[in-house]
Amino acid sequence: MIQDETRKGPWTEQEDILLNNFVHLFGDRRWDFIAKVSGLNRTGKSCRLRWVNYLHPGLKRGKMTPQEEKLVVELHAKWGNRYDKRWSRIARKLPGRTDNEIKNYWRTHMRKKAQERKRAAATMSSPSSSSSSNHSSSSNTTTMYSSPFPEGGEEQPSFYDTGGNHVAAAVATTGKTNDLMQVGDKGYSMDDIWKDIEGTIFEPVVSEGLTQEGCNFSGPPSLVSPDWDYCTNDTLWKLDDEEESKMFLPYDYGTAFLTG
Partner DNA sequence: AAACATCACAACCGCGAACTT
Partner DNA sequence: GAAGTTCGCGGTTGTGATGTT
Binding site for DNA (CB under 7 A): 7-11, 29-33, 42, 44-46, 48-50, 53-54, 61-63, 83-89, 99-101, 103-105, 107-109, 112, 158, 161, 164-167, 169, 172, 174, 176, 179, 181-182, 190
Three-state DSSP state, 131: helix
Shortest reach from residue 17's CB to DNA, in Å: 13
Nearer to DNA by Cβ, of 101 and 234: the residue is 101
Shortest reach from residue 10's CB to DNA, in Å: 4
Shortest reach from residue 156's CB to DNA, in Å: 11
Nearer to DNA by Cβ, of 2 and 169: the residue is 169
Nearer to DNA by Cβ, of 187 and 206: the residue is 187
Alpha helices, DSSP H, located in 106-226: 111-125, 190-197
Cβ contact 107:190 at 8 Å: yes
Phi, psi for 58 (deg, rounded to 5)? 95, -5
Nearer to DNA by Cβ, of 32 and 241: the residue is 32
- Cα separation, 215 vs 60, in Å, equals 8
Other beta carbons less than 10 A from residue 86's beta carbon: 22
- Cα–Cα distances in Å, from 38 out to 9, 25, 119, 196? 17, 10, 51, 47
Shortest reach from residue 258's CB to DNA, in Å: 10
Cβ contact 14:42 at 8 Å: no
Shortest reach from residue 33's CB to DNA, in Å: 6
36 φ/ψ sector (left φ>0, alpha ψ -120 to 50, else beta): alpha
Nearer to DNA by Cβ, of 10 and 150: the residue is 10
